[in-house]
Amino acid sequence: MVATAAGGPRLAALNEAAEAAGLTPGEPLADARAKAEFLQTRDIDAAADDMALRRLALWATRYTPTASPLCRDFWAEENGADGFFLDIEGAAHLFGGEEQLIADLARRLEKNFGLPARLAIADTPGAAWALSRFSRMPSVILPSGHEAEALKPLPVEALRLSPETCRTLRRLGFKSVGALLEQPRAPFAARFPAELLARIDQALGRRDEPLIPIVAPPVYHMLRYLLEPILTQEAIVALSRRLMQTLTHVLARDDVGARALRLSLYRVDGAVETIEIGLTLPTRDVAHIVRLIDLKLEALAAAEDAGFGFEAIGLAITRVERTSARQNELIAEDSSEVDRAERYAVLVDTLRQRLGPQSVRRFEAVARHLPERAEALAPVTAEASAAWSQDDQKPRPLLLLPRAEPTDVTALIPDGPPRRFRWRGVTYEVTDAQGPDRIGAEWWRKPDGHRAPEPTRDYYLVEDADGHRFWLYREGLYERETAAARWFVHGLFA
């Protein structure tokens, strides 16, 4: 496999036949062709490799929630990155210890994906990376505190240094990590980039090396391994209910509720189905959460393409919020607003699972005078459960037309209320009118050179003989802004 690099194409990956011919990764393609007469090459697809590695790391979350794939960048600092990190602290005992975990991981990689793997367990990511690539053993478990001893016989490339730094070190006679550890640090700090000492400190545990997990680390997590694979949606929902019931006790202990969850379904063939669920309000309601999972599974039809079934299922709560205590008895009227907000949240959550999270939005009040500009569509949040402020208590129509439509109005005096109007070919006799509600132009907004300032509006709520209510406005102040005011229908009341 060939990758484009500075100075011309270079070898990025080799099969066994190419390695037997003496070729090495990073070697110029021209030199490789001189060594191997029948060399076949293909351009490497780094993006596809990255996606495959991410899918593999997502599958590995069956061992621990924290899996971090290495970014593939062939000619950058981490040349030839082709693996992933697993933070197994607190998870190894679920598999009977580190030896059983690493053996199970190697077996499943070979069985499910046909991938031979070199595995290492150490206290630091740097030491595990070095041992997995440069140790003579296919799998290594390094006891705590033995990092320096294990790294000393390894080549300097085991420190994840850039190729330029490695070449300079070898020219100076430093071929092994041990040769670097025996020297004072000051000359290296003056002569080499900061990465050299940083990598040494990370490998020895003197400096933290944070990992970037492939998915958001959960706050609470439950993972169930199954003796027999499950296939049906009903079985997935039933198992999800049990997991959520267990997590509910932990949520109640910490006085928090779930706001976001992730359901992971691990297929026998190694694929992973992930379902994200967002909640409008924090909740510990098992029935509500299970119903959302059922709706999501129905929409995605995850169980219809289960292959040989799911061998494990994990439920992670990725976001929580504190929930306030509630009085369920004695004073029922105090909980009416809370109940209304919870019913609103249940409705929004249900619509989100059926229609998609981006398809459910709400109108948000905007500080603008003109009605058509006084609201905007926004994502639904927990704060949306509260009603809009009605400080002015002025009536507003339930239906606001996309554009105000012109209408012919008859009034007793030019600036008086309407008595009759004709709209969309129908004439309406006004029996009652309320107004005017004057809305002035936004004088602080300067009009552009191609448009005149917006005139004042006088709004009227009118009712006809059949009880239909309309929202009309007269545009322009008589004899001040206009000589013949125009009328428009802007909205309809229920």
- 383 pLDDT above the threshold of 70: no
Q: Which amino acid is at 45?
A: D
How much is the mean pLDDT over the chain? 86
- Distance CA(376)–CA(476), nearest Å, equals 26
Model pTM?
Answer: 0.69
User: Which residues neighbour 435 within 8 Å (Cβ) at sequence distance 6 or greater?
Assistant: 417, 458, 459, 460, 461
pLDDT band at 289 (very low <50, low <70, confident <90, very high): very high
Please give the share of the chain, as a percent, with pLDDT higher than 90.
49
pLDDT tens by residue, 312-344:
999 999 999 988 766 555 554 555 556 777 787
Q: How many beta carbons lie within 10 A of that of residue 209, not counting itself?
A: 15
**The pLDDT of residue 326:** 63
Determine, yes or no, domain membership for 361: no
* HEC sequence for 381-418: CHHHHCCCCCCCCCCCCCEEEEEEEEEEEEECCCCCCE
- 158 pLDDT above the threshold of 90: yes
pLDDT band at 281 (very low <50, low <70, confident <90, very high): confident
**The pLDDT of residue 488:** 95
**The pLDDT of residue 171:** 92
Greatest alpha-carbon pair distance for the chain in Å reads 104
Are 197 and 244 in a shared domain?
Answer: no
Q: Which of 314, 436, 412, 290 is nearest to 59 (CA)?
A: 314
Are 30 and 52 in a shared domain?
Answer: no
First to last CA, the chain: 69
Where b means 16+ CB within 10 Å and e means fewer, 26-65 reads eeebeebeeeeeebeeeebebeebbeebebbbbbbbbbbb
Quote the tokens at residue 403: 């554009």
- Backbone angle region of 39, left / alpha / beta, with phi > 0 → left and psi within -120 to 50 → alpha: beta
Give residue 233's domain range.
220-352
**The pLDDT of residue 24:** 87
Distances (CA, A) of 378 to 55, 169, 365, 369, 384: 33, 57, 10, 19, 10
Determine, yes or no, domain membership for 380: no
Determine, yes or no, domain membership for 435: yes
Are 67 and 184 in a shared domain?
Answer: yes
- 121 pLDDT above the threshold of 90: yes
Number of domains in the chain: 4
pLDDT tens by residue, 435-489:
888 888 776 666 555 556 678 899 999 999 999 999 999 998 877 888 788 999 9
User: Which residues neighbour 251 within 8 Å (Cβ) at sequence distance 6 or greater?
Assistant: 220, 257, 258, 284, 317, 320
Q: Are 222 and 314 in contact (CB under 8 A)?
A: yes
pLDDT tens by residue, 189-215:
999 999 999 999 999 999 999 888 988
When mean pLDDT is compared across 38-52, 68-82, 264-278, 392-406, the lowest value belongs to: 68-82
- Distance CA(424)–CA(487), nearest Å, equals 13
CA atoms within 13 A on the CB side of 268: 13
Determine, yes or no, domain membership for 388: no
End residue of a domain, out of 170, 204, 238: 204
**The pLDDT of residue 134:** 92
pLDDT tens by residue, 66-108:
999 885 443 343 444 688 999 999 889 989 999 999 999 999 9
Are 52 and 132 in a shared domain?
Answer: yes
pLDDT tens by residue, 165-189:
999 999 999 999 999 998 999 999 9
Please give the share of the chain, as a percent, with pLDDT higher than 70.
88
Q: How many beta carbons lie within 10 A of that of residue 310, not counting itself?
A: 24
Are 12 and 93 in a shared domain?
Answer: no
Are 200 and 67 in a shared domain?
Answer: yes
Are 159 and 226 in a shared domain?
Answer: no
Are 56 and 199 in a shared domain?
Answer: yes
When mean pLDDT is compared across 68-77, 152-161, 293-302, 419-428, the lowest value belongs to: 68-77
- 265 pLDDT above the threshold of 70: yes
Mean pLDDT, range 416-438, rounded to an integer: 92
Are 302 and 186 in a shared domain?
Answer: no
Q: Which of 217, 226, 286 is nearest to 258 (CA)?
A: 286
